[in-house]
């Protein structure tokens, strides 16, 4: 037992000496997280605002100008262009110069004055379906409240019922998508780093022949595997600390939950990513293969984690598959810890998922890894 610890100690020491001797690697480990959180933190936002809007006003009446003003004052739209004919509308949309065009027909004011119904048209560039859906909802809101105003003016003196929603947004009242995305970025970063580093570890030793040299020593498989992953647990926590600092200090993301829980879940999650990395390194024959496998796993892991797209929106089969994805659980835990400050009891499914998948990955890796003769 004591001897095992001593041997593992030597393995860890060796791993650290190697890591710190490789200056490029060191830079990758400590500077990359900062840059990544910063860049991705700014780049990845699903807020839709300042969509460029073109206006084609055939009516040119005070009423039509009022509707245009209403659009101008909405944050979603940015009135970029006043247009002069159908050709220009088509062109601007084709070239992507505007994302939406509001078309107000001739006779808009006249027909409103006669209490007739009028159509206004909104042309949307549907390439980014998410953005156009949001634009669509905002535009409908603007037009509906305009039409309500018209109704009020027509019926002055008549008492009208008034139903107004009082919406109270909890946890992220300003609906800043960054608060939701940045903790996710930290999760992705941690996953990439740890899976890749362990994934490459054993493969590199196999390529350089040092694994064979280790294999003639009496070292046991468990000792070797522990010696390979423990250094990365330490490094991972260091990187996590850096990334979280950027996240809290620079972006001002609130942390409402318990730090202890975050550390515990991180440990549990590392068991998963390190296990996955080890598994890769027992399957891959070359470092290139390892990188490719990790990359493949990561793409799936990230897309199916709910990082970009809510899991509830996926087809049922996909939703079921996400239960095999450790990222899914940790993503949920981190986001809820940060924004809601949820307690242990709300993470029962996540705890189970991580506690099952991690050891399974580790066990598979240990089984596949045969230090023993073949």
Distance CA 195, CA 276 (A): 6
Q: Which stretch binds other proteins (CB under 8 A): 14-22, 167-175, 244-252, 314-322?
A: 14-22
- Contact status: 6 vs other proteins (CB under 8 A): yes
Q: Of the two residues 121 and 208, which places its CB atom closer to other proteins in the complex?
A: 208
Under 8 Å CB-to-CB from 207, ≥6 apart: which residues?
286, 287
Site map for other proteins, 217-256, x if CB under 8 A?
A: xxx-------------------------------------
- Contact status: 1 vs other proteins (CB under 8 A): no
Using CB under 8 A, pick the residue from 156, 160, 216, 316 that binds other proteins: 216
Q: How many residues bind other proteins (CB under 8 A)?
A: 26
Q: Of the two residues 222 and 349, which places its CB atom closer to other proteins in the complex?
A: 222
3-state class (DSSP) for residue 80? strand
- Contact status: 315 vs other proteins (CB under 8 A): no
Helices 177-208 and 326-339: crossing angle, nearest 10°? Answer: 140
Smallest separation (angstroms) from other proteins to the CB of 15: 10
User: Is 4:223 a contact under the CB 8 Å cutoff?
Assistant: yes
Distance CA 211, CA 216 (A): 9
- Contact status: 23 vs other proteins (CB under 8 A): no
Smallest separation (angstroms) from other proteins to the CB of 31: 21
CB atoms within 10 A of CB 39: 11
- Contact status: 212 vs other proteins (CB under 8 A): yes
DSSP string, 241-269: HHHHHIIIIIT-----S-HHHHHHHHHHH
Q: Is the Cα torsion angle 330, 335, 337, 338 positive or negative in sign?
A: positive
Smallest separation (angstroms) from other proteins to the CB of 18: 5
Task: Give me the residues that bind other proteins (CB under 8 A), please.
Answer: 3, 6-7, 9-11, 13-14, 17-18, 21-22, 208-210, 212-219, 372-374
């Amino acid at each position: 037992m004591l001897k095992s610890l001593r041997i593992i100690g030597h393995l860890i020491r060796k791993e650290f000496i190697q890591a710190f001797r490789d200056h490029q690697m060191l830079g990758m480990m400590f500077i990359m997280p900062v840059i990544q959180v910063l860049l991705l933190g700014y780049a990845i936002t699903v807020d839709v605002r300042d969509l460029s809007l073109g206006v084609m006003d055939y009516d040119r009446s005070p009423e039509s100008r009022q509707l245009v003003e209403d659009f101008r004052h909405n944050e979603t739209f940015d009135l970029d262009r006043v247009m002069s004919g159908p050709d220009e509308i088509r062109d601007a949309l084709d070239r992507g110069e505007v994302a939406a065009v509001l078309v107000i027909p001739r006779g808009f004011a006249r027909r409103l004055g006669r209490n007739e119904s009028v159509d206004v048209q909104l042309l949307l560039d549907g390439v980014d379906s998410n953005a156009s859906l949001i634009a669509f909802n905002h535009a409908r809101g603007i037009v509906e409240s305009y039409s309500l105003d018209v109704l009020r003016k027509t019926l002055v003196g008549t008492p009208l019922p008034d139903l107004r929603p009082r919406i109270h947004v909890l946890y992220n009242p300003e609906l800043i998508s960054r608060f939701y995305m940045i903790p996710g970025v930290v999760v992705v970063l941690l996953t990439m780093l740890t899976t890749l580093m362990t994934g490459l570890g054993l493969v590199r030793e196999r390529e350089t022949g040092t694994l064979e040299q280790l294999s003639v020593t009496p070292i046991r498989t468990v000792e070797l595997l522990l010696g390979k992953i423990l250094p990365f647990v330490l490094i991972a926590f260091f990187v996590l600390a850096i990334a979280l600092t950027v996240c809290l200090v620079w972006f001002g993301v609130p942390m409402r939950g318990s730090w202890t829980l975050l550390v515990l879940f991180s440990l549990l999650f590392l068991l998963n990513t390190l296990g996955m990395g080890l598994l890769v390194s027992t399957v891959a024959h070359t470092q290139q293969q390892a990188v490719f496998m990790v990359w493949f796993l990561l793409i799936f892991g990230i897309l199916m984690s709910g990082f970009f797209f809510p899991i509830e929106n996926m087809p049922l089969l996909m939703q079921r598959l996400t239960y095999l994805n450790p990222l899914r659980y940790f993503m949920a835990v981190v986001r809820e810890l940060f924004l809601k400050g949820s307690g242990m009891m709300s993470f029962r499914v996540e705890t189970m998922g991580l506690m099952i998948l991690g050891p399974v990955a580790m066990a598979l890796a240990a089984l596949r890894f045969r230090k023993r003769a073949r």
